[in-house]
Structures are given as C-alpha cells and as structure tokens.
Amino acid sequence: MDSRVPSPMAPTLDHIVPLARGGSHEPANVQAAHFLCNNKKNDR
C-alpha cells in the first residue's frame, strides 16, 4: 500500500461549511468523515 494515499475509510475532519465558502476550523464547523466521503464532497 502506498502510504501517501490514505485508506478510503480513514477518518478525516470534514468542514460543514467549506473553508472556500467562508467556513472556519471552529469545533462547531467540523465533523468526522471517511476520507472517500470527504473527498467526494469537495467544496459542496
């Protein structure tokens, strides 16, 4: 396995309101998401 690419099921921090749309790193704006789910969501 290539260590540069996380497992699709690895946990990541997902921004509820994306940073690109004015979201922040505040705890109320982040949630856990699988890497694959978070990656598919992108900036939506």
Q: What is the pLDDT of residue 3?
A: 64
Which DSSP string corresponds to 21-39? GT--S-GGGEEEEEHHHHH
Q: Which residue has the higher pLDDT, 35 or 42?
A: 35
Answer whether residue 9 shows pLDDT above 80: yes
Question: What is each CA distance from 41 to 3, 16, 26, in whole angstroms?
Answer: 22, 10, 19
Answer whether residue 2 shows pLDDT above 70: no
Q: What is the pLDDT of residue 4?
A: 76
What is the DSSP secondary structure assignment for residue 2, as one 8-state letter?
-
Tokens for 6, please give them.
Answer: 């996380």
Helix (H) / strand (E) element for 41: namely helix 35-41
Q: What is the pLDDT of residue 44?
A: 73
Residues 13-35: pLDDT tens digits? 999 999 999 999 999 999 999 99
